[in-house]
Amino acid sequence: MFCVETQHFPLTRILLLAIGLWPYQRSKFSQLQATLCFGILSSFVVFQLTALITTKCTVDFIIKVFSTAMVFNFYIITYNMFWINTDHVRNLLDQLQCICNELKDENEIAIFKKYGNNTKRFTLILTSFSICCVFIAILLPIWPQILGIFLYINESRIQSQTIQIVTEYFVDQEKYYYLILLHTYAVFCIGATTVTAIGTMLLGCIVHAYGLFTIASYRIEQAMTTKIFENINLNSWSMICKKICYAVEIHHKAMKFTNFILSSFKGSFFMLIMFSVISLSLNFFAIFRNASLGNKEAFVLHILYVLVIYLYLFVSNYAGQEVLNYSTHIYSTTYNVQWYNAPLHVQKMILLILQRGSKTFSLNIAGLFTVSLECFATLTKASMSYFTVLYTMQQ
């Protein structure tokens, strides 16, 4: 027996602890930490929207403000998703631990550990990507200053060039420039940590669900091996019945666990999809707008926004597609075993699995979105359509 949370989610645990969202650490300090992180993220969006009060609003300016504000709203929704559902997150990990404790077969434990190692590998890759994105985002505001050391550019000119995100703090922005920049850096770091930590936690849970589906397929194959049918007796039929029962049980747990992930956060998932499509459309427009104006820093920044959102959408939809594939694999495995050689009562049990497998098991959000690669293509098409409308209106 091993601890799932420490052995399969070590890096995710560190990231969640850093932002006060680890479900097993609910001290007063962690609550203060969570409140501070959420306040920093929320205040940055507020200070972006206040720019609409003090500046003349044109269509171009509104799009400029909302193209970045939507991205940081994405961070807020993601953070809030775990903050208000701490019990659900802890329940997910507890369910995984209980399922792991019930595994006795060495091959099944090896399968479970294999998908746990995949979870750690995906977490490391996504964390590395996030670190690179944050590094680039932090470097962009100070890049003109680095050049200014060698090119002798006036400091006020440098500061005017480095402000790529429209904000209104109701203070002298030149005087408090470095405090504003510090606030921006804090938001980038907290936001990237939030998206990475929560994304890898949910992805890890889905990957473990793949392992449960694989174990169900393994149990079915072991229950209906050729060796069992070579020496048929009463004990053999009893053994087959037990193994089929175990296969049905783990299959049911895999489906229940996957549905619990979706039902726990379905409201947040729906909001994230809407904000993702709107944000992609606005940032595509901002990319073309800044490219035409020659604003390289803003161009790169909006490229980063698009890459992060696209990666988030692709990974989540690919994970949903894999759930569909693994569920279908159980159906094909059950269909291909020698079920016709089993006694009638065993065939009825196998028929139960076949009936489940004949119905497409997928992750469905609010009855509108089926998480899959097809959904990813649909969302991409929708965001490009809205971008085309915006671009046409500006011509």
Mean pLDDT (whole number) for 55-68: 84
Q: Which two tokens mark 370?
A: 């089926």
Of residues 189 and 365, the one with the higher pLDDT is: 189
- Domain ranges in the chain are 4-394
Q: Does 369 score more than 70 pLDDT?
A: yes
Please tell me the predicted confidence (pLDDT) of residue 153: 45
**Bridge partner list, 364:** 370
Q: Please work out, in degrees rounded to the nearest 5, the angle formed at the alpha carbon of residue 332 by the alpha carbons of 103 and 369.
A: 85
Q: Does 196 score more than 90 pLDDT?
A: yes
For the question of whether the overall pTM of this predicted structure is more than 0.85, the answer is yes
Q: Within 10 Å of residue 185's Cβ, how many Cβ atoms?
A: 15
Residue 215 CA, distance from chain mean position: 24
pLDDT in tens, 238-277: 777 777 778 888 888 888 899 899 888 988 899 999 999 9
Own/partner contacts of 82-86, CB < 8 Å, gap of 24 or more, are 82/16, 82/21, 82/198, 82/201, 83/21, 83/34, 83/38, 85/264, 85/265, 85/268, 86/21, 86/23, 86/26
Mean pLDDT (whole number) for 142-167: 54
Please tell me the predicted confidence (pLDDT) of residue 135: 87
